[in-house]
Amino acid sequence: MDQNELAPDVVVSGTVWELVPQVRDVMKGYRQGKWIGNIYVNNYGAKSLIYTMKDGAAKLAPYHGFEDKLPKEVKDEVKKAKEDIIAGKLEVPNIWTWDPETWR
């Protein structure tokens, strides 16, 4: 969620999650009769249970009021990092902080 409106003088950007890829795959699995409702088991034909920027599931929020304040070099570095993430050249680790047994 773009949180700029919470603190527009402080929040430069942030991660925005798009649920469309996940919902699409769950619905596809449901229609095929493969979905059993377990978020940790790839049981419905999805290529992965982890959706990323490459899949269109994550993006960066706009810079809003910082668009003209940030140096072009910084924006270029962010753009390059995004391209590298999508191309698989820059890995963003997935950090799981909960116990999967909680969800079974």
Q: What is the pLDDT of residue 38?
A: 58
The residue with tokens 């990092």 is 81
- The pLDDT profile of the chain, 104 residues, written as one tens digit per residue, is 889 899 999 999 999 988 888 888 878 878 888 776 655 455 555 555 677 888 888 999 999 999 999 999 999 999 999 999 999 999 988 776 666 666 66
Contacts of 7 (CB under 8 A, 6+ apart): none
Assigned domain for 3 exists: no
With 0.95 as the threshold, say if the pTM is over it: no
Domain residue limits at 64 = 13-103
Assigned domain for 2 exists: no
- Counting the structural domains of the chain, the total is 1
Q: What is the pLDDT of residue 68?
A: 95
Assigned domain for 1 exists: no
Q: What is the pLDDT of residue 69?
A: 96
Q: What is the pLDDT of residue 6?
A: 92
Assigned domain for 82 exists: yes
Q: What is the pLDDT of residue 62?
A: 96
SS3 assignment, position 92: coil
- ∠ CA 36-41-43, nearest 5°, is 55
